[in-house]
Amino acid sequence: MTLLYALLVGVAMGALIQRAGASSPKMILASLRLENLSIIKFMATTIAIGMIGVYLLGNVVPMHFDIKPTYLVGVLLGGLIFGTGFAVGGYCPGTCVVGIGERRTDAWFALLGGVTGALLFTLVYRLIEAPLIKPMNYGKITLADVTHWPPLAVAAVFAALLLTFVAFIPTIRASRQDRREPAASTR
Amino acid sequence: MAELAASPPVAVPAQRTGVHLPRWASLGVLFGLLSTVAIALYGPIGVSGTYPRFIGAILRIVSPGYAASNSYLVKMGSLVTTETMLVVGLLVGGFLAALLSGSRAPSAELVHAGETSVGRRYRDAFIGGLLIIFGARLAGGCTSGHIISGITQLAVSGVLFGAAVFGAGMLTARLIKGGR
């Protein structure tokens, strides 16, 4: 039954990603170049609603939380490598699959690169586990554990910060020439 | 600047008029509710673990001895997981959304100054794909597992991963734009 749930969640998620434009490498690069923040705002809104949602609902029904461990070196180094690849290719592991669904040819190359990266990682895992994954592992910690606040309170503050950001930062940055004309904020 | 002159394909946010939310906001609210529902039903969304599980499924056929001796493949386990089903769903969802909305995605968008041909775009997509999966597996998750699900659950790992991704991503985008 959970397999069916996951399939349905995947279909809905793929459709949302496609409609948001997050499967477009051009939109990803526009976000990373701070020219059009709509994808970043889409993600920030998702996270803000989700963190309130899970910790509110968690008071009512049992939730299937699964916190990933914080092993500092691997998480940060992995994030830096991921961010570099994100800017080079314009795809994430999931958005390239959505991109294949909407018939983007370059998404196949991102997927193929991903499979190659997975093979490479599998082959070197034994070498990098000790220096990069084992050290400085603080376990499955959350911001609630660190601050000793109730999770819902942390979620409320964090969500408020995210929603303030999405509401007040302009989505589309006016180019240098247009900056003096307020009406020219949408292209 | 010039390579971005064409308007973005789908996600042009609506002007804020009256009660209409921009598209990123309404879609973000829906995605937030969806990730909440997923955690209530079975667990947080994630994608990138599917790639090494796929490698494992192939190696178990091609080279069962090696597959059984590789501790990472053993740890990641079978391809029959909720995460694999989610990835299949992503494919279907992307296909259906493009079909039903009548939006036609370009076969390839050139996004960097150095992408003077479609072949170079394919090369960048391949290199980018390799780096994101290697980085995601090193960190233990990707945009969905670490950034969306992780930060949603207030995981410290998700916040750190997200900061590293956007830091390196913005820097790299800037460096590439400067010409290479």
Q: What is the pLDDT of residue B20?
A: 81
Chain B CA closest to residue A133: B138
Residue A185 has pLDDT above 90, yes or no: no
The pLDDT > 90 percentage for chain B reads 82
Residue among B90, B105, B165 whose CB faces A10 most closely = B90
Instruction: Please tell me the distance in Å from A180's CA to the nearest CA on chain B.
Output: 19
Which residues of B are less than 8 Å from A138 in CB distance?
Answer: 156
Q: Residue A119 is inside which H or E element, if any?
A: helix A105-128
Which of B131, B144, B159 best probes binding to A when mutated, by most A CB atoms within 10 angstroms?
Answer: B131
Helix axes A72-89 and A25-32, enclosed angle (nearest 10): 120
What the block records as the tokens of A115 is 């499979």
Cβ atoms A91, A21 nearer than 8 A:
no
Contact B87 A125 (CB under 8 A): no
Cβ atoms B133, A118 nearer than 8 A:
yes
Q: How far is CA A55 from CA A60, A130, A146, B147, B159, in A?
A: 9, 35, 17, 17, 17
SS3 at position A102? coil
Q: From first to last of the 180 residues of chain B, give the pLDDT tens digit.
A: 344 444 444 444 555 556 788 999 999 999 999 999 999 999 999 999 999 999 999 999 999 999 999 999 999 999 999 999 999 999 999 999 999 999 889 999 999 999 999 999 999 999 999 999 999 999 999 999 999 999 999 999 999 999 999 999 999 999 997 554
Which of B29, B148, B153 best probes binding to A when mutated, by most A CB atoms within 10 angstroms?
Answer: B153
Q: If you average pLDDT over residues A107-136, what whole number do you get?
A: 97
Whether residue B127 lies within 8 A of chain A, CB to CB, comes out as yes
Cβ density class B77-110: b for 16+ within 10 Å, e for less: eebebbbbbbbbbbbbbbbbbbeeeeeebbebbb
Query: Greatest CA separation found in chain A?
Result: 58
d(CA B148, CA B162): 9
The pLDDT > 90 percentage for chain A reads 91
Q: What is the pLDDT of residue B103?
A: 87
Read off φ and ψ for residue B155, nearest 5 degrees.
-70, 135
Which residues of A are less than 8 Å from B9 in CB distance?
Answer: 21, 24, 26-27
Residue among B45, B153, B167 whose CB faces A67 most closely = B153
Instruction: Please tell me the distance in Å from A24's CA to the nearest CA on chain B.
Output: 8
Looking at this protein, which amino acid is placed at residue B29? V
Which residues of A are less than 8 Å from B141 in CB distance?
Answer: 68
Whether residue A26 lies within 8 A of chain B, CB to CB, comes out as yes
* pTM of the predicted protein model: 0.91
Contact A116 B129 (CB under 8 A): yes
Which residues of A are less than 8 Å from B13 in CB distance?
Answer: 38, 171-172
Q: What is the pLDDT of residue B180?
A: 46
d(CA B10, CA B7): 9
Tell me what ipTM this predicted complex has: 0.93
For A62-76, what is each residue's pLDDT tens digit? 999 999 999 999 999
Half-sphere exposure of B176 (CA within 13 A, CB side): 26
Q: If you average pLDDT over residues A52-63, what whole number do you get?
A: 97
Cβ atoms B11, A38 nearer than 8 A:
yes
Please provide the average confidence, as pLDDT, over all residues in chain A: 93
Residue among A24, A61, A64 whose CB faces B42 most closely = A64
Which residues of A are less than 8 Å from B83 in CB distance?
Answer: 6
Residue among B94, B103, B126 whose CB faces A14 most closely = B94
Chain A CA closest to residue B71: A126
Whether residue B107 lies within 8 A of chain A, CB to CB, comes out as yes
Cβ atoms A87, A32 nearer than 8 A:
yes
pLDDT band at A186 (very low <50, low <70, confident <90, very high): very low
Q: What is the pLDDT of residue B104?
A: 86
Residue A179 has pLDDT above 70, yes or no: no
Contact A64 B111 (CB under 8 A): no
